Chain A
Amino acid sequence: MVDQKKGNRPTDEELIEKFQNGDLYAFDLIVKRYKNQLLNFIYRFLGNTEESEDLVQETFLRVYRNRKAYQKVAKFSTWIYTIAGNLAKTELRKRKRRRFFSISELGFNEKDYDISDEAYNPEKDVDSRLKEAIIHEQIMALSPKFREVIILRDVQQLSYEEISEIVNIPLGTVKSRVNRGRLKLQEKLTTLLER
């Protein structure tokens, strides 16, 4: 996780405390640390990069506005992921109400994003992009309760304890939900996983 103190690197909790005391540079550092993590989390949840980036902006705005609401008893990472997760779920509910559907949500027609690839190989690139699109599509096909824990555990690599706090469900439920989510996902991706 990003909040482990390495050398002189301040922890997340130290940064938010500085920010609470008016240090805007600390807020900038928080943004730098979490912007891509949150984008990946929300994107895997919603499936649309533009909307996801807007929600990441909104997450940081909420952190900015409600900085005084954060209390040291909770880890900063769980607090910010909870905000982002709630925004993503609200967006999902809005979509359901609007009965919104777009082919771009399937992930095939996304705007380009920057993926670092030192050994560029066009054939391999197409194959891996296709593979990624299929996996992404199947993640999106999971119900939100499974999708959320799978993203947090397998994509974001958060601990079960952190997920339990973010999703606000008991630890045992998180574990069984992750297990069931993985089984559902691997059933749908059997062909791809057997390659």
Chain B
Amino acid sequence: MKTCHNFTGLISEYVEGNISQQDRVDFENHLKHCDDCYQKMNSTRKLHHVLRQLPSLKVSPDFEAILRARIRIENKRPLYRTTQLLTSWKFRIPAYSLSAILILLVVVLVYSKISQQNSYTQQAINSIERKGGYAAEHSATNGAITIYSIDQKPIKSIVSQNRDVFMGQPTKIHEKTSSIDSTRHAARQDKRLERSQADRYYYATSY
């Protein structure tokens, strides 16, 4: 047994005459007994008619003249032409390709510089180890090189501040030498320290 709820969805179709034969018969039978649905159907029918009869507005008389003027302005506007060019695929495809190539080049360049810098650092450490007779440790976090004496005490910490090292021009290093208090006294006593310092400056300027 269909209820009012079932028939409510059919009101528009009934008013517009787009209802199936079976639904029409069912709905009309229901309308005979249901005042509420009848009222709704009747109001919808009137509304449908009223909405179709709403007055039609017309554009102002100069509408087309204004439109033509706007089109003329737009055709002359260089910005519009540039925008058209920039948004066309004829421009986009080479632009995207060029951008991709440039990005790839930058990535390769940066990677090669990093590798080169690591190589220089390693070379420096090797030199210090080989020539100075001291152990050296390279910190990956701040790039500092710490030199240890034979008895495993840190003697000096060298922090490179010169970006040229990174950029692959390690001919000159401006270094900040921070003394480590605990080793200063020992270093003073050890004459070999002077030799290591001399070595350090020598190596710093040689690689």
Partner-B contacts on A (CB < 8 A)? 28, 31-32, 35-36, 39-40, 43-44, 49, 53, 56-57, 60-61, 64-65, 113-115, 128, 131-132, 135-136, 150, 154-155, 157, 175-176, 178-179, 182-183, 185-186, 189-190, 193-194
Contacts and interface: CB of A to CB of B under 8 A. Distances in A.
B44 A186 contact: yes
The A interface, classified by DSSP as helix, strand, loop or mixed, is: helix
A135 B43 CA distance: 14
B56 interface: yes
B43 A190 contact: yes
Interface size class of B (residues with CB under 8 A): 20 to 34
B58 A114 contact: yes
A40 B56 CA distance: 7
A39 B52 contact: no
Contact of B54 (A49, A135, A175, A183): A135
15 contacts: A31-B64, A35-B64, A36-B59, A44-B54, A56-B63, A61-B74, A64-B71, A115-B57, A128-B55, A154-B48, A154-B51, A179-B12, A179-B13, A182-B44, A186-B43
Nearest to A128: B55
B11 A154 contact: no
B74 A53 contact: no
B50 interface: yes
A194 B59 CA distance: 33
B13 A193 contact: no
B44 A115 contact: no
Contacts of A189: 43, 47, 50
A113 B57 contact: yes
The B interface, classified by DSSP as helix, strand, loop or mixed, is: helix
Contacts of A186: 40, 43-44, 46-47
Nearest to A56: B59
Given A182-B44, A183-B40, A193-B46, A175 B67 contact: no
A101 to B, nearest CB: 22
Contacts of A155: 51-52, 54
Interface of B: 8-9, 11-13, 40, 43-44, 46-48, 50-52, 54-60, 63-64, 66-67, 70-71, 74
B12 A175 contact: yes
A81 B52 CA distance: 18
Nearest to B42: A193
Contact of A175 (B13, B48, B51, B66): B13
A193 B66 contact: no
A28 B71 CA distance: 12
Contacts of B9: 176, 179
B52 A36 contact: no
B58 A39 contact: yes
